Amino acid sequence: MSDKEQSATMERMLQEITAVTCRIEGMDASISSLTLDTKSMRSDIAGFQSRVTGLEHRMGSLEMQVATSQDREQDLLYLRSKLTDLEDRSRRDNIRLLGIPENEEGTDIQAFLGSTLPKLISLDFDPPLEFQRAHRVGPKHSDKSSRPQPIIACLLCHNQT
């Protein structure tokens, strides 16, 4: 091979080496870019993981609050039923009398009811009726033509009724 051919071959080889070197440098740049992208993705993933952890914590807290709320609701329903029962039991000893004229009972409304009530319902009570309390309810009427105030009487023992 002549010098000229050798020189042309060498120049082609140099061009090929240069082209390969350029390709390798381009690949290095791509690898560097991929490395930066990978680091960025890892950072994003770490951020997402911390958010997920925070959301899991909040979700657990909300689940506990819901469970507590349900327990409180059950307690509230139970207490409401107990309150209704207590109100019903406290009212079962009460008698409401309507139409008894004002001031007919005098100063001792319990004695008046003890003597008048058996006559009104035509029953004899043995032992006689005893009242825990008795009183008129509602506003006093100054007008004689209006309805008299009702009387509420609470029996001392509910077995008397």
> 15-72, pLDDT tens digit by residue?
888 888 888 888 888 888 888 888 888 888 888 998 999 999 999 999 999 989 999 9
pTM of the full predicted structure? 0.47
**Residue recorded with tokens 């001792």:** 108
The pLDDT-based confidence of 80 (bands split at 50, 70, 90) is very high
pLDDT at 25: 82
What would the mean pLDDT of 79-87 be, rounded to a whole number? 95
- Collect all residues with Cβ–Cβ distance below 8 Å to 147 and sequence separation of at least 6: 99, 141
- Collect all residues with Cβ–Cβ distance below 8 Å to 36 and sequence separation of at least 6: none
Write down the mean pLDDT value for the chain. Answer: 85
**Residue recorded with tokens 């911390």:** 50
